[in-house]
């Protein structure tokens, strides 16, 4: 459908010639009632004549359009609007276009040269727009154009006065865009290039002729149409080309160290980094701009702890150069313990949006439920204590500015469904430190144990802004990679709303950063309001997968990986898009209201339904125990060294079926990093068990105690019988398979 301006009233200032005339003709041609304003001055602002405006009005009327002339100077802004209202009864669009030039080299610029330019361009646009403003606000519609210039954006010899006024208009437009937004009053700025009497003195004649004003007008019409939602934009336009401009900002560098004075010498020494546009950000608001600065401040105030949230837009950087991977890698943080009861599990489930509205959530919300369980992603909670306690600060070789630490990615793997109460101990190790140029990446692996038993593994990917450049490697085989989703429409999409109090609730699970609750603290961080914890959205996304692809069965959950991209505000809706690829469910999480991706490169790995319920797998005469051994094999692959340390023995297995030997297995947890193979032991097993396929499953599922099985003759043991106690370490995890 063509864009119509029927019923709209448009005021174009300086429309007696050049670009303004073209706009006036184009608006009128599409049905608008147009006020053609022009003072009829010369290019320097001298003289006055009604001829220019009259001529354009005649042209419009000759074509059957509606137009009236106005001869006031834009310095009498009220008069322009009054005559518009007198003629047409309303004002919908103001195109601030009138302009003059008084080019001089800066030294020769007189007060008059300066003042006249400011008065016509900047003050004139202000006065005309202010006179129209309340009319637009009251009718909940308005479109305003400011005319800037490349001279203002980039500077131009001999145009100091003009450059200042033109960029002043952009500043005016930026704020009007914000103040007018909620009234549907939009303000955009153009920097045109066109042949006109203003440019004929600086451009060759054939260029003046070919850069036609009609190659600019369509942009102005679009920006002024009710369909166009653009607001606060800046566009360069000419010769039929249109481009949008925005600000870019270097990652920057924090040149202040805690408790030390800030000096010009440090500024000098960091100058290259300050001006380096690698990984530059593109702030679009004062909030975003201040965010990095306030993050420095607020993180200093909060004691330099690692904020477990994805506020990764923060951008200034540390001056730290004290990273020594050789020293840091392999260092352990002090172990932490985490005591919990069902209360914490339930609180966490509520924190990640579970509700009694959904009957199948009850198993996570009610300790009396027969299948009461802990949500798998609760597995991050015990391990994050290691980070929250500021343990990183004590690591040698990691002399970094802890105000610059951001939580970039998270990986969690469970080796058994989480218990619903107990005491868990976490051990964190720096497994790698990477040099990403603009920043350093610290990979922190946290193993969490219940007694001796490994329950979960977390990998925190911590980004230290500005701490790169120490000459380290860029990638690590230790990093659990994030993965892009398949290039097809998602197989499932779940939309779920967070509540206004989601962060207030989630923080009770242990992330007490005031950024998530205190409006003034959030404002210091550059946010309009407290933001949701990244790990809260992570919990939402994981339970969406669990519900959709695993029937809410926590024993099906194996692992999750996410990359935090943007923050979510409590109350926004999360849209989790899921792609199933075998047992891997790729996910991407967006804020529904803004379509912004908040979790990227993410996936959840599930245990296959068959693996998870071995009872159902006897079809085809296969041995149920095969699956358990397959899983033991996977676990040895992942964790072999841990298990070898704990067990240090070779186990032989003889599985019988209907009284006959059906399979032999060897679990070697003594040599190298452990192995599993099907068949008899090549060397000597420390202990060999003979058991029927059925009884093996009973033991595995915790229904038959191994000692009892031995005494009742169901389990035969040859070799070092004491080692059967260690069976627990291997088998106990599968009790809930
Ligand atoms: P132009 O000189 O043809 O048009 C400007 C019009 O404004 C003239 O008709 C003039 O009489 C009128 N005017 C001057 N002072 C006035 C006042 N106090 N009140 C009311 N009307 C007044 O020039 P052009 O090229 O069409 O320029 C239009 C706008 O675009 C100007 O603001 C100019 O600075 C801007 N611009 C133009 C560029 C180009 O390549 N033509 C480049 C960058 C900016």
Q: Whose Cα sits closest to atom 31 in ligand 1?
A: 99
- Ligand 1: does its nearest atom lie under 6 Å from the Cβ of 198? yes
- Ligand 1: does its nearest atom lie under 6 Å from the Cβ of 19? yes
pLDDT score, position 138: 97
- Cα 119 to averaged position of ligand 1 atoms, centre (Å): 13
Q: What is the mean pLDDT of residues 489-511?
A: 94
- Cα 532 to averaged position of ligand 1 atoms, centre (Å): 49
d(CA 468, CA 320) in angstroms, rounded, equals 9
d(CA 94, CA 27) in angstroms, rounded, equals 12
pLDDT score, position 562: 97
- Cα 34 to averaged position of ligand 1 atoms, centre (Å): 18
- Ligand 1: does its nearest atom lie under 6 Å from the Cβ of 570? no
d(CA 298, CA 516) in angstroms, rounded, equals 13
Q: What is the mean pLDDT of residues 574-596?
A: 95
d(CA 379, CA 394) in angstroms, rounded, equals 25
Residue to mutate, 17, 21, 42, 198, ligand 1, most ligand atoms under 8 Å from C-beta: 198
Q: Which residues contact 131 (CB under 8 A, 6 or more apart)?
A: 77, 78, 80, 81, 82
pLDDT bin (cut points 50, 70, 90) of residue 610 is low
Asked if residue 235 lies in contact with residue 173, where contact means CB atoms within 8 angstroms, the answer is: no
Q: Whose Cα sits closest to atom 14 in ligand 1?
A: 99
Q: Which residues contact 689 (CB under 8 A, 6 or more apart)?
A: 651, 652, 653, 654, 715, 716, 717, 724, 727
The residue among 467 and 76 whose pLDDT is bigger is 76
- Cα 61 to averaged position of ligand 1 atoms, centre (Å): 23
Residue to mutate, 52, 98, 118, 189, ligand 1, most ligand atoms under 8 Å from C-beta: 98
- Per residue in 437-494, pLDDT (tens digit) is 888 899 999 999 998 889 999 999 988 877 888 888 888 888 999 999 999 999 999 9
Q: What is the mean pLDDT of residues 708-730?
A: 77
- Per residue in 194-224, pLDDT (tens digit) is 998 888 877 788 888 889 999 999 999 999 9
pLDDT bin (cut points 50, 70, 90) of residue 624 is confident
The residue among 526 and 531 whose pLDDT is bigger is 531
- Ligand 1: does its nearest atom lie under 6 Å from the Cβ of 56? no
Where would I find the H helices in 147-253? 150-154, 160-180, 205-210, 217-223
- Ligand 1: does its nearest atom lie under 6 Å from the Cβ of 73? yes
pLDDT score, position 702: 74
d(CA 220, CA 18) in angstroms, rounded, equals 14
pLDDT bin (cut points 50, 70, 90) of residue 612 is very low
- Per residue in 147-185, pLDDT (tens digit) is 999 999 999 999 999 999 999 999 999 999 999 999 999
- Per residue in 24-74, pLDDT (tens digit) is 999 999 999 999 999 998 888 888 899 999 999 999 999 999 999 999 999
- Ligand 1: does its nearest atom lie under 6 Å from the Cβ of 38? yes
CA angle in degrees (0–180, nearest 5) for 605-415-647: 140
Q: What is the largest CA-CA distance in the chain?
A: 116
The residue among 324 and 683 whose pLDDT is bigger is 324
- Ligand 1: does its nearest atom lie under 6 Å from the Cβ of 233? no
pLDDT bin (cut points 50, 70, 90) of residue 309 is very low
d(CA 276, CA 17) in angstroms, rounded, equals 44
- Ligand 1: does its nearest atom lie under 6 Å from the Cβ of 96? no
Q: CA torsion sign, 220 to 224 to 227 to 230? A: positive
CA angle in degrees (0–180, nearest 5) for 667-670-673: 85
Question: Residue 234: pLDDT above 80?
Answer: yes
Q: Whose Cα sits closest to atom 8 in ligand 1?
A: 14
- Per residue in 6-23, pLDDT (tens digit) is 999 999 999 999 999 999
- Per residue in 349-361, pLDDT (tens digit) is 999 999 999 999 9
The residue among 537 and 515 whose pLDDT is bigger is 537
pLDDT score, position 406: 78
pLDDT score, position 320: 39
- Cα 529 to averaged position of ligand 1 atoms, centre (Å): 43
Residue to mutate, 11, 12, 14, ligand 1, most ligand atoms under 8 Å from C-beta: 14
pLDDT bin (cut points 50, 70, 90) of residue 403 is low
Residue to mutate, 196, 201, 203, 234, ligand 1, most ligand atoms under 8 Å from C-beta: 196
Q: What is the mean pLDDT of residues 325-340?
A: 89
- Cα 17 to averaged position of ligand 1 atoms, centre (Å): 8
Question: Residue 725: pLDDT above 80?
Answer: no
Asked which of 316-320, 526-530, 552-556, 643-647 is least confident by mean pLDDT, the reply is 316-320
- Ligand 1: does its nearest atom lie under 6 Å from the Cβ of 650? no
Confidence (pTM): 0.51
* Catalytic site positions: 162
pLDDT score, position 620: 36
Q: Whose Cα sits closest to atom 33 in ligand 1?
A: 99
Question: Residue 108: pLDDT above 60?
Answer: yes
Q: Whose Cα sits closest to atom 12 in ligand 1?
A: 14
- Cα 234 to averaged position of ligand 1 atoms, centre (Å): 18
Q: Which residues partner with 441 through β-bridges? A: 434, 463
d(CA 711, CA 223) in angstroms, rounded, equals 86
Question: Residue 346: pLDDT above 70?
Answer: yes
Q: Pick from 625, 499, 484: which is nearest to 565 by CA? A: 484
Q: Pick from 269, 273, 284: which is nearest to 250 by CA? A: 273
Q: Pick from 207, 206, 274, 260: which is nearest to 238 by CA? A: 207
For residue 75, the ligand 1 atom closest to its alpha carbon is 18
pLDDT bin (cut points 50, 70, 90) of residue 2 is very high
The residue among 721 and 622 whose pLDDT is bigger is 721
Q: What is the mean pLDDT of residues 679-693?
A: 82
Q: Which helix (H) or strand (E) holds 124?
A: helix 124-139
In sequence order, what DSSP letters do the residues of 257-278 get, joined into one string? -TTS---HHHHHHTHHHHT--T
What 3-state class would DSSP assign to 342?
A: helix
Question: Residue 404: pLDDT above 60?
Answer: yes
- Cα 140 to averaged position of ligand 1 atoms, centre (Å): 29
Q: Enter the tokens of residue 174.
A: 């930026």
- Cα 20 to averaged position of ligand 1 atoms, centre (Å): 7
- Ligand 1: does its nearest atom lie under 6 Å from the Cβ of 461? no
Q: What is the mean pLDDT of residues 610-626?
A: 51
- Per residue in 376-387, pLDDT (tens digit) is 999 999 998 777
Average pLDDT, the chain: 87
Q: How far is CA 620 from the centre of its chain?
A: 48
């Amino acid at each position: 459908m063509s864009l119509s301006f029927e019923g709209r009233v448009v005021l174009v200032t300086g429309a007696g010639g050049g670009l303004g005339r073209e706009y006036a003709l184009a608006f009128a041609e599409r049905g608008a009632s147009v006020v053609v304003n022009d003072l009829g001055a010369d290019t320097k602002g001298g003289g006055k004549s009604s001829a220019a405006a009259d001529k354009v009005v005649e042209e419009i009327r000759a074509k059957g359009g509606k137009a009236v002339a106005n001869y006031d100077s834009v310095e009498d802004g009220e008069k322009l609007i009054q005559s518009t209202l007198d003629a047409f009864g309303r004002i919908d669009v103001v195109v601030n276009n009138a302009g003059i030039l008084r080019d001089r080299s800066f030294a020769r610029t007189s007060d008059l040269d300066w003042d006249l330019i400011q008065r016509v361009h900047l003050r004139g646009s202000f006065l005309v727009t202010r006179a129209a403003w309340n009319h637009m606000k009251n009718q909940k519609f308005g479109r305003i154009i400011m005319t800037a210039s490349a001279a203002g954006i980039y500077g131009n010899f001999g145009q100091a006065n003009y450059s200042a006024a033109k960029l002043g208009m952009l500043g005016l437009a930026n704020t009007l865009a914000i103040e007018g937004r909620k009234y549907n009053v939009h303000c955009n700025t153009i920097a045109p290039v066109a042949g006109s009497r203003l440019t004929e003195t600086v451009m060759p004649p054939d260029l003046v002729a070919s850069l036609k004003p009609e190659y600019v007008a369509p942009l102005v019409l679009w920006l002024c149409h009710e369909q166009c939602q653009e607001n606060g934009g800046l566009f360069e336009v000419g010769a039929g080309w249109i481009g949008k401009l925005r600000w870019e900002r270097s990652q920057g560098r924090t040149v202040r160290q805690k408790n030390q004075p800030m000096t010009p010498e440090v500024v000098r020494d960091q100058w290259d980094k300050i001006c380096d546009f690698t990984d530059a950000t593109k702030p679009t608001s004062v909030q975003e701009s201040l965010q990095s600065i306030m993050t420095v401040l607020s993180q200093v105030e909060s004691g330099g702890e690692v904020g477990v949230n994805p506020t990764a837009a923060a951008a200034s950087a540390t001056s730290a150069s004290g990273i020594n991977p050789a020293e840091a890698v392999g260092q352990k943080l002090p172990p932490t313990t985490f005591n919990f009861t069902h209360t914490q599990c339930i609180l966490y489930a509520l924190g990640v949006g579970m509700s009694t509205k959904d009957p199948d959530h009850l198993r996570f919300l009610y300790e009396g439920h027969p299948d009461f369980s802990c949500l798998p992603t609760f597995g991050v909670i015990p391990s994050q204590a290691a980070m929250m306690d500021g343990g990183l600060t004590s690591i040698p070789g990691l002399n970094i500015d802890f105000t610059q630490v951001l939580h970039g990615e998270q990986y969690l793997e469970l080796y058994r469904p989480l218990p619903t109460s107990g005491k868990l101990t976490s051990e964190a190790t720096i497994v790698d430190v990477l040099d990403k140029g603009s920043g350093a990446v610290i990979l922190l692996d946290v193993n969490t144990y219940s007694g001796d038993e490994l329950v979960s593994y977390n990998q925190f990917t911590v980004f230290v802004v500005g701490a790169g450049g120490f000459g380290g490697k860029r990638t690590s085989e230790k990093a659990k990679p994030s993965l892009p989703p398949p290039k097809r429409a998602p197989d499932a999409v779940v939309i779920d709303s967070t509540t206004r109090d989601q962060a207030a609730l989630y923080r009770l699970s242990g992330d007490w950063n005031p950024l998530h609750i205190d409006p003034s603290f959030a404002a210091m961080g550059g946010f309009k309001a407290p933001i949701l914890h990244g790990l809260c959205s992570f919990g939402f996304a994981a339970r969406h997968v669990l519900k959709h692809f695993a029937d809410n069965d926590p024993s099906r959950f194996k692992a999750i990986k996410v990359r935090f991209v943007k923050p979510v505000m409590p109350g926004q809706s999360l849209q989790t898009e899921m792609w199933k690829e075998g047992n891997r469910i790729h996910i991407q999480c967006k804020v529904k209201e803004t379509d912004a991706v908040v979790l990227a490169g993410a996936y959840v790995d599930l245990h296959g339904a068959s693996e998870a319920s071995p009872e159902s797998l006897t079809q085809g005469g296969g041995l149920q125990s095969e699956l358990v051994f397959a899983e033991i094999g996977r676990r040895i692959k992942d964790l072999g060294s841990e298990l070898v340390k704990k067990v240090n023995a070779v186990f032989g297995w003889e599985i019988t079926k209907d009284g006959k030997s059906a399979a032999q297995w060897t679990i070697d947890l003594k040599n190298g990093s452990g192995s599993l193979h099907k068949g008899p032991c090549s060397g000597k097993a420390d202990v060999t068990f003979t058991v029927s396929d059925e009884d093996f499953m009973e033991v595995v599922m915790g229904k038959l105690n191994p000692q009892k099985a031995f005494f009742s003759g169901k389990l035969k043991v040859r070799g070092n019988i004491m080692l059967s106690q260690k069976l627990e370490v291997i088998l106990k995890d599968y009790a809930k398979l």
